[in-house]
Structure 1
Amino acid sequence: MTVISPTDPQTDYTWQWRGFAINYRQWGTQGAPILLVHGFGASVGHWRKNLPVLGEHYRCYAIDLLGFGKSAKPQPKLEADYTFDTWAAQVQAFCAEVIGEPAFLIGNSIGCVVVMQAAVSYPDWVKGIVALNFSLRLFHERNLSRAPFYQRWGVPLFQKMLTQTPLGSLFFKQLAQPKTVRNVLGQAYADKSAITDELVEMILAPAKDPGAAAVFLAFTSYSQGPLPDDLLPQLTCPTAVAWGTADPWEPITLGRALVEQYPQIEFQSFENVGHCPQDEAPDLVNDYLLDWLSRQQSPGG
């Protein structure tokens, strides 16, 4: 088991997985292990307001998924498949090789689907999960089959244009601009004051890496794989779902309705908070996570 004496919650460490360099951070040297998994286009930095707080009580880690942040960005299909099965295998290997034991997994957005897939595929390595605004994957092919005609036709066409024509590279270059990133974050965050220069740079920096555009385009065309609808009923570990009520991308009404089918899963809402509550409202999220984790550690929890 790797134990690091932390000196800075923003220090980056490197772990080799399948021949690829994987970036992670750690804070805390005692207590149960926790692994934080970011959403699409984000990185370990999206947990910078949570890592040191949770690390006061737990051994807390944050990891860059393959293809994101400072982790390697191998060529899609030829060198790596950017799927939830791949990322779930990465999470399990990190628990085994770096943490050294099963961990609690906490995810945001697509990171929630990653931790759910890890819990389903590798249940012995997951002590419990918390999903913050999980991605409903509304552009998944099964969801599109029930969507209006213009979406059933238009989304696959747009995906093909991005991945099979020069439009994809132009689209990525336009997206990877400070003004565009601020506009996108302005949709995702209800509290605009949380959109800082530090946050914008954190999103932009990995986009400059070789291979970043190819990874982005590969995932935007990934309309297969599991839906939360598939994974939730298979979860056997303690599970909680928390949601910002002001999320414009993943409506809380849809998330709540899905989770309500499983009374063993706890549901928590954060009022007037957007898609990334761990960064926008870290005090609310940290308090909730510490309470939930404490209850799992207590007798009968």
Structure 2
Amino acid sequence: MLPTTRFTDPAAVEAWDSWFRWRDGSGLRDLDIDATWWRVANALAVVEGPFSPLLVRHLVNAFCRWSLLPDERLLQYAGTDTRIEELDSPAAVLNVAAFVSSPLTGLARFDRDSFMATAGLAVHLLDNALTLFSSARLPVALSIGVIGLTDAMRYLGCPLSSTEAREHAREIAMCLAEGCLRGSVLLASERGSPVTPSERSRLAERWRERGMPESLVADALAHGVRHTSLTAIQPHPRLAALANNVADAATPARYPTWQAPAPAGGPMQFSAAQGNLLAAMQPWIDAPIRTSGISRAEEAPRI
């Protein structure tokens, strides 16, 4: 049985109701947040045919645990009467804080295996979304990133300026890279790869430099990958607010009210320690880490 989503911050309820809750002329269509999850998951899983119920359960389980959140445009429009005309640069985020077991205790630890599996699920989610809502030829650059990074450090008992925090940040980035690569290789083995053998050989140098397991590199060379660029850390203040107001990894300071989205010029505060964490992650992130700007949802009209 899937768990019921728990809100623990009023800002998250306001974020969902204002930005992601489906309503139309007949009234409210998403009666609660779980209805939003099921709406989005069912819309994305239609690609799977008879296997769609399995993917739906995986997606809803990740959503309701706040461990994975899809592109803002998918949360707003997937499964509604509003069509997504063209999904360019699709994004998803993993909430690192949701992968810390026994938080704020001496037994706190980062669940790297679950994190990597969820990263692979994010690739699957976005590949399906591209099939449904994009006319672009593969490979397409995906933007799978993180939120809740500084929350996770607090749960683990690591001061942001500590060496231990930077080591955790590197581990998180490496797990993100490996999980996304595994997801991309698995999909390539099932759906085919648009990447040529010569391009795979060039990419293999990057994978080995990042410390990816040799068996995974061998699989990627044999089966190919669906997408050559998978990871990007960029501002997603609305997703961070929705996920019980965790810190946005690219703009780590929380905003004082949910009504005030990230200013276009950058975060309200950005400490050197937080910047050092992101710098420690950069070698495993495909796109340059961005710490200012606005998310795609802020460009879209509110429902």
Length-normalised TM-score, structure 1: 0.30
Q: From the two aligned structures, give the one with the greater strand fraction.
A: 1
Length-normalised TM-score, structure 2: 0.30
